[in-house]
Amino acid sequence: MPVEAPSESALTERRARRPGRPRRDETNGAELRSALLDAATELAVERGFDKVGLREIADRAGASPAMISYYFGDRDGLYIAMFTRVFDRVTEQVLELLDPDRETEASVENLVRVHVTAISRNAWVPQLIAREVLARDTPLRKHFDEKAGGPIEMMIAWIEREKERGLLRADLDAELTAMSIAGLSVFPYLFGPILKRNAHLGFDEEFRDRLIAHNQKLIAHGIRARTENRT
Q: Specify the pLDDT at position 35.
A: 92
Q: Are both 84 and 126 inside the same structural domain?
A: yes
Burial of 37 (0-12, 13-18, 19+ CB in 10 A): buried
Reference 36, options 55, 18, 17; nearest CA is: 55
Question: What end-to-end distance do the CA atoms of the chain give, in Å?
Answer: 90
Please provide residue 117's backbone torsions phi and psi, each rounded to the nearest 5 degrees: -60, -45
Residue pLDDT tens, the chain, 231 long: 443 444 444 434 433 444 444 443 344 778 899 999 989 888 876 777 778 899 999 999 999 999 999 999 988 888 888 878 877 877 787 777 777 676 666 788 888 888 888 888 777 777 777 776 676 666 667 777 777 777 888 889 889 988 998 988 899 999 999 999 888 988 888 876 676 665 556 678 888 899 999 999 988 888 887 655 444
In a domain, residue 11? The reply is no
What predicted TM-score, i.e. pTM, was given to this entire model?
0.66
Q: What is the pLDDT of residue 95?
A: 77
Is the four-CA dihedral 18, 52, 47, 135 of positive or negative sign? Answer: negative
Q: Residue 27: which domain range?
A: 18-73
Residues 198 and 162 in one domain: yes
- Candidates 110, 44, 79; CA nearest to 87 is 79
Residue 219 CB coordination number (10 Å):
19
Q: Quick one: 84 and 164 in the same domain?
A: yes
What 3-state DSSP class applies to 168?
Answer: strand
In-domain check, residue 9: no
Look at the alpha carbons of 63, 68, 69, 70 in this order and tell me if their dihedral is positive or negative.
positive
Separation CA 55–CA 49 (nearest Å): 13
The answer to whether the CB of 116 falls within 8 A of the CB of 185 is: yes
Model pLDDT for residues 165-187, shown as the tens digit of each residue:
898 889 999 999 999 988 898 88
Burial readout 158-171 (b: 16 or more C-beta within 10 A, e: otherwise)? bbbebbeeebbbee
Is position 12 within any domain? no
Per-residue model confidence (pLDDT) at position 132: 66
**DSSP summary character for residue 45:** H
CATH code (residue 214): 1.10.357.10
What does the alpha-carbon distance between residue 111 and residue 159 come to, in Å, rounded to a whole number?
Answer: 11
Per-residue confidence (pLDDT) for residue 19, from 0 to 100: 42
- Looking at the structure, tell me whether residues 92 and 143 fall in a common domain: yes
Write down the pLDDT at residue 201: 60
180 and 96 in a common domain:
yes
Q: Return d(Cα 40, Cα 54) in angstroms, integer.
A: 8
Q: Are 42 and 86 members of one domain?
A: no
Phi, psi of 168 (to 5 degrees): -120, 160
